Amino acid sequence: MALQHEHWISLEEYHEIERTSEIKYEYVDGRIYAMSGGTFENDQIAINLIVALRAHLRGKVCRVASSDMKVLPLGDENPSCYPDVTVTCNPEDYKRGSTVVRSPRLIVEILSRSTRYRDRGRKLRDYQACPSVEEYVIISTQYQRAEIFYRTGEVWTYRQLTAGQEMTLISVDLTLPVSALYEDTTIPEEEEI
């Protein structure tokens, strides 16, 4: 969950805040967004996906990272993001002591009420502008649904999947049931009307 601070700050101020704060902040065009604690459901979805990705990527060059790793999708520090799940296949991103991912291949955001507009708006555009990103996944916490944006050449394609369907993450060649993302949660299969 992100909370926006309303005044403009410089990158230098952002670095000072990061250095002295126990809270993580995302930075976009002079604004910072505090990454406050999420819900149990959000955490459980992230764990389920990280476990599946870790098992699938074992012994391969790609690595999975949690929301503790900062991602710089445009190469510099504007924007600086903390996606829920990131996969990188660039060994420079996970060498000993690395603190940022500069070459994400797969980025996953798990929606909350406070982040849903940024995740579908600005972050979508920034992630699509990153040359290494092949796939961006948005996972709902309201009901069992995953939205996938994937790149084929210069074209982005959109797919929406719901409970009962299988999700294929083309960027890492992993297929799993959408319902597997929601194990150990009480998130309903369908939108409640």
Break the chain into its structural domains and give their ranges.
39-181
Tens-digit pLDDT profile for residues 67-116: 999 999 988 888 899 999 999 999 999 999 999 999 999 999 998 877 77
pLDDT at 19 (0 to 100):
87
pLDDT band at residue 192 under the 50/70/90 scheme = low
Tens-digit pLDDT profile for residues 138-191: 999 999 999 999 999 999 999 999 999 999 999 999 999 999 999 999 999 987
Dihedral angle computed from the Cα positions of residues 144, 121, 90 and 86, in that order, rounded to the nearest 10 degrees: -30
Question: CA torsion sign, 111 to 113 to 115 to 119?
Answer: positive
pLDDT at 125 (0 to 100):
92
DSSP H or E segment with residue 101: strand 100-101
Tens-digit pLDDT profile for residues 33-44: 888 667 899 999
pLDDT at 193 (0 to 100):
58
For domain 39-181, the CATH architecture is Alpha-Beta Complex (3.90)
Residue 156 near residue 181, CB atoms below 8 Å: no
Helices (H), 65-141: 116-120, 122-129
pLDDT band at residue 22 under the 50/70/90 scheme = confident
Nearest Cα residue to 26 out of 48, 11, 47, 44? 11
pLDDT at 7 (0 to 100):
72
pLDDT at 55 (0 to 100):
98
pLDDT at 3 (0 to 100):
44
